[in-house]
Amino acid sequence: MADEALDQPPDAAPSPSLAPATPPAPATSSPAALLRPRREAFEHGLLPIPKLIFPEGMLAQTLAQLKEKLAASVPDGRVRAAALAEALQIPQEQAALALGTLAAVLPAEDPVLGDGAMDGAAADIRDVLLFLYIQSYKRLVPRSAHKDSPAVADVWPSTSAFDGYLSALSPIQLVRSNSRRFMPSQADEEIHQLSFLQKHMANILTLLADSVEGEGDDSLVLTMETFEHLGFLVQFSEGTSLSQAATFFANSDPDMPAVPVPAAQVLDWMSQNIAFSLEYSSERSVAKESNQQTMSDLDVTMAEANTSHSRNSTPSANPAYYRNVTFVEGFSKTSVVKHASDVKGNSIKVLNCHDSVIYILAPLKYATVYGCSDATVVLGAVGKVVKVEHCERVHIIAAAKRICIANCRECIFYLGVNHQPLVLGDNHKLQVAPFNTCYPQLQDHMMQVGVDPSVNKWDQPFVLGVVDPHDSLSHPAGVADVKAESATCLDPDLFTSFLIPSWFGDEGQEPINCNPFPLPEIYEAFQSKKRSALEDIQKMIRELQLDENRKRELAAALHAQFKDWLYGNVLASHRHVFFSRN
């Protein structure tokens, strides 16, 4: 049951508030109509900027005051970076980052906001308020404390100012300790997000509602347009719009504006649906745990990932399809390739993969790489956000609009990104470099998701703090936040192109050997130098006058040297190599 309106100041005059008129009962008996939290908002929409996060006890009051301030300064109902910076007293670049992050997690494109970076970009004030409200969300804590062998203790620090727990687990510790079952599953996180919305829905609706003449609950109403903005936070599992699912707005005449609905009525409806979804999800989660299965019904295990994402798979065969998420999880000492036909939905998560090469050759909106070590991950084209978190000695090759890097160590990022890479958390020895690969469909995939190859801000990291207030396990008492360690540019002499094997391409299409992102001059110069040196060696070998025995000896020597190089390369993973393109 939803709470009474929260955060009322004890000595303030009473203000209109909402409470359910009747106890929430199941709105439907069909799981097909489950109301789900929009995971994108919670996973990619949180920024560790202290002035965006308000104390829970003052959250509703503070945002109500902010709404008044913004409404007075933006008569068109559109918030620009300058107005947001003034209202929150933050630097304009942070306000622009907030609007860009909001743009990346909206459920539909807002042409006035765009990607948040264009001149005059402005967000709807209702979306801004919802975005700021969820900044108070705390991520779910692990279900158990963790202890591990000292054999790997020197790989990852025992404490972290960032979150105190997850950074203390290196990917190697995670896979060796069998502690994956203690980490929150996808279903656990969804239940946690729904519980947050259940607790705060009354305040959220009060914040969005318009005041009209009347008394009590009748003085607050929501228009259908405002109601649809709740789609930033929740969605139905079958893709039905909120206004079509709600009986009070369903089948409204498109030629006639729908009559505003009392906010209390909306709260009753939302509370019923959230309560039913929570009950359904909790029962499923308990059933899974009782069967001693460590993954929820919404996760894809490694065995399922190997079988259910084949080219011939159908949506019904893939449980993650209904989440619009494909999982690549738990692979070790292998190579995995996913083409567009293998990816169901618009998001992918690469989780806890080790000593492997993962090729995601598909157009996507969102991508997450979490808990990987000694691996290479190729992300073809991501139109919204890539998030890389808790990775160790990993190469990330990504063409994307945005990328967020948190709590990573000794990783190299080969980037083609339209916005500054966001760096936050407890990072060490990160390097960035220009994008360095291609495959036949890459440019088409980039065009589909809106990644612009003429803009690459790979070498302009935007650095925030080490401490993340969204983590429930906070940093040690007395530890002040400081800027995260930034990334350095890879030495051009160490830069190499990455060759995706031709057998991973679609049949019948010739490979394209053109990097869509132009290389900076200094990197191109070193590439040319390497190509020239290779051509000289090839020419010298061709011109050698050798008998058959000497040719065999030379071939054996070359093969031996190549093997020594291959097995000695820390990140070769014994299955792939970096090649300089001819």
Specify whether the CB–CB gap between 338 and 348 falls below 8 A.
yes
Q: How far apart (Å, rounded) are the C-alpha atoms in residues 166 and 172?
A: 12
Closest to 44 (Cα-Cα) out of 405, 417, 433: 405
In a shared domain, residues 166 and 206: no
Domain assignment of residue 532, yes or no:
yes
**Domain range enclosing 462:** 145-183+300-582
Q: How far apart (Å, rounded) are the C-alpha atoms in residues 3 and 376?
A: 47
**Best-predicted range by mean pLDDT (212-216, 320-324, 478-482):** 212-216
Examine the pLDDT at 406 and tell me if it is beyond 50.
yes
Indicate the average pLDDT of the chain. Answer: 79
Measured CA distances, 251 to 164, 235, 255, 256, 490 (Å)? 50, 18, 11, 11, 57
In a shared domain, residues 108 and 159: no
In a shared domain, residues 307 and 273: no
**CATH at 455:** 2.160.20.70
493-511 burial, b for 16+ CB within 10 Å, e for fewer? eebbbbbbeeebbeeeeee
Specify whether the CB–CB gap between 361 and 439 falls below 8 A.
yes
Q: Phi and psi at residue 260, in whole multiples of 5°?
A: -55, 150
Examine the pLDDT at 530 and tell me if it is beyond 90.
no
Q: What is the pLDDT of residue 521?
A: 93
Specify whether the CB–CB gap between 421 and 437 falls below 8 A.
no
In a shared domain, residues 178 and 194: no
Read off the tokens for 491. 């030495």
In a shared domain, residues 179 and 116: no
Is the model's pTM score more than 0.85?
A: no
Domain assignment of residue 295, yes or no:
no
Q: What is the pLDDT of residue 319?
A: 39
Specify whether the CB–CB gap between 194 and 142 falls below 8 A.
no
In a shared domain, residues 273 and 233: yes
268-288 mean pLDDT: 86
DSSP string, 214-265: SSGGGGEEE-HHHHHGGGGTEEETT---HHHHSTTTTT--TTSPPPPEEHHH
In a shared domain, residues 488 and 425: yes
Domain tally for the chain? Answer: 2
Q: How far apart (Å, rounded) are the C-alpha atoms in residues 165 and 144?
A: 10
Domain assignment of residue 103, yes or no:
yes
pLDDT band with cut points at 50, 70 and 90 for residue 299: very low
In a shared domain, residues 393 and 260: no
Examine the pLDDT at 418 and tell me if it is beyond 70.
yes
277-304 mean pLDDT: 61
